[in-house]
Chain A
Amino acid sequence: MTKHTQKRIMDILTYAILIAGSVIMLGPFLWMVSTAFKLPADQFTRTLIPPTWTMQNFRELFAVDISFPKLFFNSAYIAILTTIGQLLTCAMAAFCFAVVRFKGRDFLFTLLLITLMIPGQVTLIPNFIIFKYVGLVGTSVPLWLPAFWGGAFGTFLLRQYFLTIPRDLVDAARVDGASLFQIFWKIYMPLSKPALAALAIFVFQGSWNELLQPLVYMPAVPNTTLTVGLAFFQQQLTQGGKFTVLMAGALISILPLVIVFFFAQKQFIEGIALSGVKR
């Protein structure tokens, strides 16, 4: 078998598997879109194309006076701030944990990982009490300020990636007289675009989809985030079995994330192309 044929076969196999998988990955979304545009009477029809297309579900959503634009804006700026905070602080910490030798490194890192293991529902109240004492309850600050204090997930992710960057680059830079920070900023950061883009996506999405935190810290609708606003609807709609409107709401909530991902993806590709060339 020639190399060429082997590649063709592998390619065909690859496409086959990927396409089959895509159907499963996309299926639920197609169903979501389809249901969102169906008439309520049709909500259980088993066809992908709505028998009758309608916009009434979206109209019903927007008819209730909870100012979607404001909710969107709140969710957006909180998510952006959170992402910036995490990218900066986790990268710095990850560099220290991955590249620098210092006393207590492993202990601190383990401690960091342990914070990942306590579920958020339990830490909510101690944190709330602390924020109450500094008078930050009723604002969005408790949602994004902690992002500027590092994070176990982001630090861990970037540390793993930093560990794969070859030491000789560092040694060469040292010979050239580079300082610790310069090595971090000039070598590690540019080479880690894929990991940074990945982290950015995860953090943004995590912040956007948060429910419990904005619920307790921020004022009521409409001065809160989109997820809280939608939760307000969902209960009523689920009780009433109004799946078409529920799907419309779900669509609205995921659309911004999809758009963000599209743009972040470009960075991602750029990053991968660059890192492929780095040697």
Chain B
Amino acid sequence: MQYGLKPLGREKISLWLMLTPTLIGLAFGVLGSIVATLLLSFTKWDLLTPPKWAGIINYIALFNDPKLSKALTNTFKFSLLYVPSVLVVSLLVAVLLNRKIRGITVFRTIYFLPAVTSAVATALVWNMIYGKDTGILNYIIELFGGQAVCWLCTDKVLTALIIVNVWGAIGEGMIIFLAGLTAIPKDYYEASMLDGANAFQQFLRISVPLVTPSIFFMTLIATINAFQAYDYIYMLTRRGQGDSSFPVVVYSIYRNAWTFFNYGGASAQAVELAILVVILMAVYFWMERRYVVYE
């Protein structure tokens, strides 16, 4: 990356002043989240009595925990489907909304609405929609002559969850991509039209490369969201007191920390999750260097 202004002389003060709030936040964030979580992962803590040092016992437990393995598998499966889906769909929507068409404000609102609302609220509706005997989705399917499906049963639940999560995330991606797309000067498109390019070629040769900074951002954010996905999944697969038929890692972390008096183990799981995402992040940053175009 070739960017960078050198601060001149007394400007160094401005620089660090502007960074100070973030540095405080980092100190807090590093202390509060990273260091504390790391430290706690080496303890046994039940929240009610003081933490007791326990060495790497929680990390060993990571490999012997069948519930955690299930949660990890589910998280991976989910993320693998979720990230590309969100990227593709929201980029498509953003590109379409970037054209000069009537009613753009209305469309923008409609597509953004799910992202603005709380997952807890909308998950309730989706639960009703997905009901196998009582839900409206099956009703519509049968109306068109199809077979009703048990959406929240184990064989279909992943699909159902992906639909809901992507539905809720399109707005976010759309806004990001729109912001990125509008930064592309119109003359590029006009010049290419003079050269005889059609819409698809314009998309591939102009829009996509110049929107790669946003793609990079969304990929990273979507990955983090996928690994930390919890609200929709839990609300839709809730069974019994705090049980879930599609457990994911964050769910396992929550349960260990808050229900099983195992805060140390939960911290170790959080560290494992973070490491996984960091590895992916490293991959993404490598790809940024090779593929992302900054003007």
Interface residues of A (CB under 8 A from B): 3, 6, 10-11, 14-15, 17-18, 21-22, 24-29, 31-32, 35, 44, 46, 88-90, 92-93, 95-96, 98-102, 108, 111-119, 121-123, 125-127, 130, 146, 148-153, 155-157, 160-161, 163-167, 170, 174, 179-181, 183-184, 194-195, 198, 201-202, 205, 208-209, 211, 227, 230-231, 234, 238, 243, 246-247, 249-251, 253-254, 257-258, 260-262, 265, 268-269, 272, 275-276, 279
Contacts and interface: CB of A to CB of B under 8 A. Distances in A.
A258 B266 CA distance: 36
A113 B281 contact: yes
B175 A26 contact: no
Contacts of A209: 118-120
B128 A276 contact: no
15 contacts: A6-B199, A10-B99, A28-B126, A29-B113, A31-B129, A32-B121, A89-B22, A121-B258, A127-B32, A146-B28, A180-B14, A205-B115, A249-B121, A254-B121, A268-B108
Nearest to A122: B270
Interface string B195-224: 000110000000000100110110011001
Given A10-B199, A180-B15, A253-B118, A149 B224 contact: no
A99 B221 contact: no
Contacts of A249: 121
Contacts of A89: 21-22, 25
Contact of B139 (A46, A198, A250): A46
B250 interface: yes
B154 interface: no
A208 B132 CA distance: 32
B21 A198 contact: no
B153 interface: no
B217 A160 contact: yes
Contacts of B33: 115, 118, 122-123, 126-127
B213 A92 contact: no
A25 B125 CA distance: 13
B172 A25 contact: no
A85 to B, nearest CB: 8
Nearest to A116: B224
Contacts of B213: 160-161, 163-164
Contacts of A205: 115-116, 118
Given A117-B274, A209-B118, A250-B122, 11 more contacts: A17-B96, A115-B29, A118-B37, A123-B33, A125-B47, A127-B28, A195-B179, A198-B176, A250-B121, A254-B122, A261-B112
B19 A44 contact: no
Interface of B is mostly: helix
Interface in B243-295: 250, 253-254, 257-258, 263, 266-267, 270, 273-274, 277-278, 281, 294-295
Contacts of B8: 180
Contacts of A181: 14, 18
Contact of B128 (A31, A160, A198, A234): A31
A46 B93 contact: no
Interface string B1-12: 001111110010
Contacts of B54: none
Given A117-B277, A123-B33, A18 B107 contact: yes
B34 interface: yes
B136 A161 contact: no
B199 to A, nearest CB: 5
B119 A122 contact: no
Specify which of B113, B114, B131, B227 lies most central, judged by the most chain A CB atoms within 10 Å of its CB: B113
A234 B123 CA distance: 12
Interface string B169-204: 010100110111011011100000100001100000
A26 B111 CA distance: 8
A148 B263 CA distance: 29
B73 interface: no
Contact of B24 (A28, A126, A149, A227): A149
Given A111-B26, A118-B274, A161-B183, A156 B125 contact: no
A215 B266 CA distance: 20
Contacts of B220: 113, 156
Contacts of B69: none
B96 A18 contact: yes
A7 to B, nearest CB: 9
B52 to A, nearest CB: 16
Contacts of B273: 117-119
B124 to A, nearest CB: 5
A156 B232 CA distance: 25
A275 B185 CA distance: 9
A186 to B, nearest CB: 14
Contacts of B47: 125
A17 B29 CA distance: 43
